[in-house]
Amino acid sequence: MIRLAIREPAPGSDAAWRAEYRKHQDEQRVATVQPDLFGAPAVETYRRDAPAKPIVSKSRYRLRPDLDPAEMAMMLASAANWLRTRQRVQIAIDSPHQHAGRQGVVWRLCSPINADRVYVYLDAAGNERTEKIAFVEVRDVEPIAE
């Protein structure tokens, strides 16, 4: 299935960067597009990515206490040096998040209501054909040098 065109965002905005990054990732995933001679939909063939690294003996959904306001303010102040849209990050391996150990880019920062969380656009792993955007706590995200 060939993707439909989306309304173009304003140039220079984060929305424009997200659209360009998403298009680039889609182009990397698709290996070939084979049109059908008799009018049927085109067939897309996808590249196989390296499989996600397995997480060794870790409870995925363990609960942990919330941060108090002072701890949260301190964590956000320390993350202010590197936390920005387009930053390459990795979800910490010891995180209870289901995508622990995966890498990606900070896709979007949250409003002040959820200032302790970010959206991370994960790199494809294995046979993933769709994009994965994870909603992750800032304390579970580690920056990666570019």
Segment 91-119, tens digit of pLDDT: 998 888 888 889 999 999 998 888 899 99
* Position 1 pLDDT exceeds 50: no
Beta-carbon contacts of residue 82 (< 8 Å; ≥ 6 apart): 143
Distance CA 101, CA 86 (A): 18
Convert the pLDDT of each residue in 54-83 to its tens digit.
765 555 556 788 889 899 899 899 898 899
* Position 6 pLDDT exceeds 70: no
Choose among 104, 102, 95: nearest CA to 61: 95
Q: What is the pLDDT of residue 55?
A: 64
Encoded tokens for 61: 């959904």
Say which amino acid occupies 74: M
Distance CA 8, CA 86 (A): 19
Q: How far is CA 118 from CA 7, 16, 33, 68, 137, in A?
A: 25, 19, 34, 18, 6
Q: What is the pLDDT of residue 31?
A: 85
Which of 5-9, 20-24, 79-83 is predicted least confidently?
A: 5-9
Q: How far is CA 73 from CA 16, 61, 139, 140, in A?
A: 30, 25, 12, 15
Higher pLDDT, 132 or 61: 132
> What share of the chain in percent tops pLDDT 70?
86
* Position 53 pLDDT exceeds 90: no
Distance CA 20, CA 142 (A): 24
